[in-house]
Amino acid sequence: MSPLGIQTLSPLDGRYRKQVAGLGEHLSEAGLNRARIQVEIEWLLYLTDHGLFGARRLTADESRRLRSLVSDFDDGAVDDLARREAVTRHDVKAVEYYVRDRLGELGLTELAELTHFACTSEDVNNLAYAITLRAAVHDVWIPKARSVVEVLRQQALALRDVPMLAHTHGQPATPTTMGKELAVVVHRLELLLATVDDVEYRGKFSGATGTFSAHLAADPDYDWISASRDFVTSLGLTWNPLTTQIESHDWQAQLYQRISHIGRVLHNLCTDVWSYISMGYFRQIPQEGATGSSTMPHKINPIRFENAEANLELASALLDSLAATLVTSRLQRDLTDSTTQRNIGVALGHSLLALDNIEKGLGEIAIDEAALGRDLDGNWEVLAEAIQTVIRAEVTAGRSSIADPYAMLKELTRGHRVGADELRAFIERLDISAEARSRLTALSPATYVGLASRLVDYIEPNGS
């Protein structure tokens, strides 16, 4: 069998494994189990550090060796946990037994009963998911997203002065610049990525129904609320004091909705770039040895953007489902979230794969200024907006008596092409001031781009 596993069901674990491997480090079953062990170990150390129930404080070396169960987590540990779960039929219980047995090997058997102390499995799971998700998003997904934004930013700056015929409703419209259009996407993505940065990764640690009942039964005088807060925040998470058995997952829904929103903006970018390639505005740079079409040798298919589109659609479908499902749990607990959360890595994997394709795709295209110029020169009628607007200003200032300039320009240009000579001859006959006539005569579709270039400044690091 192939080392990639030809019988894998998901292409993320086969064909595209290399592109999404960074997420697998955190959001795989192994990554989740490593985080579960981390929670179990850190809770055990919290209890011993505070001398709960007469437990002694561990030495620095003992603490280090316990934490090495996390840092040295390997394939052997994965296999061990799988064997245990086959017996327990409970993933977190398998983790608990794994830790208890390791305590024996380390000569710390006297602490065995503090393993998983007063915990429901969801106390461990919700913290483990928060730890792994935070690492996956901040260490893998966000850097890739920002890398895509940076590529777009550099292209927007480089193309800020390249005029382009706009197409509103698919029809020739007031010209812009390619750089300004790319800058719009950069600006949108930056605002949305900031909202992903702002998500608080929350955790609960309060027992079977969120009431600290077992804790209080074990020691009625201990401040378990403060202990819970201190423990959760020690893991770098935000403490949630009011929950049922589960942490409510609202922060997860918020995160998935925001990443899905970013995906839809990127999907829009892909369809636009695809259209610009189709229109000849971008040329695709041939890649050595690559085949564009199996039968048409001349073709270079825009597969990077098409692949990204498909993966963004899959990602949004999964992310939207996660967000919708996770905010509901019957009464104090049901297990719908358990199966759902196992697909977090799949959802983010499709998103990451799309980002990778977009970044590569943007590096395989080049602007064709000649094609843009031909399109602009073939659509002089787009200056009708400028002409009728100038006439309106002239009439208001008392320098013209033309009635209904909009209707006049509609009659001249609507439904047919008007060339440069015809339009300039029309301008020469207008009842307007010499200064206004001079400004209009100097215009061309390529120069009628307003402040497009200046607007690109807003994506500079200090732009305002």
Alpha helices in 298-428 (DSSP H): 303-326, 336-341, 344-362, 369-377, 384-396, 405-413, 420-428
- Whether 293 is catalytic: yes
The span from the CA of 288 to the CA of 307, in Å, is 20
The residue from 169, 294, 401, 464 that is catalytic is: 169
Dihedral angle at the C-alpha atoms of 387, 388, 389, 390, nearest 10 degrees? 50
The residue from 68, 234, 278, 293 that is catalytic is: 293
Strand partners of residue 216: none
One DSSP character per residue, 349-367 reads: HHHHHHHHHHHHHHTTEEE
Q: How far is CA 81 from CA 17, 34, 36, 64, in A?
A: 24, 10, 11, 22
The span from the CA of 317 to the CA of 315, in Å, is 5
The 3-state DSSP class for residue 165 equals: strand
Q: Which two tokens stand for residue 16?
A: 């595209």
Q: How far is CA 304 from CA 142, 289, 301, 360, 429, in A?
A: 20, 16, 8, 7, 51
- Whether 169 is catalytic: yes
Phi, psi (rounded to 5 degrees) for 172: -55, 135
Please answer whether residues 56 and 48 qualify as being in contact, where contact means their C-beta atoms are separated by less than 8 angstroms: yes
> In 10 A of CB 463, how many CB atoms?
11
DSSP summary character for residue 137: I
- Which residues carry out catalysis? 169, 293
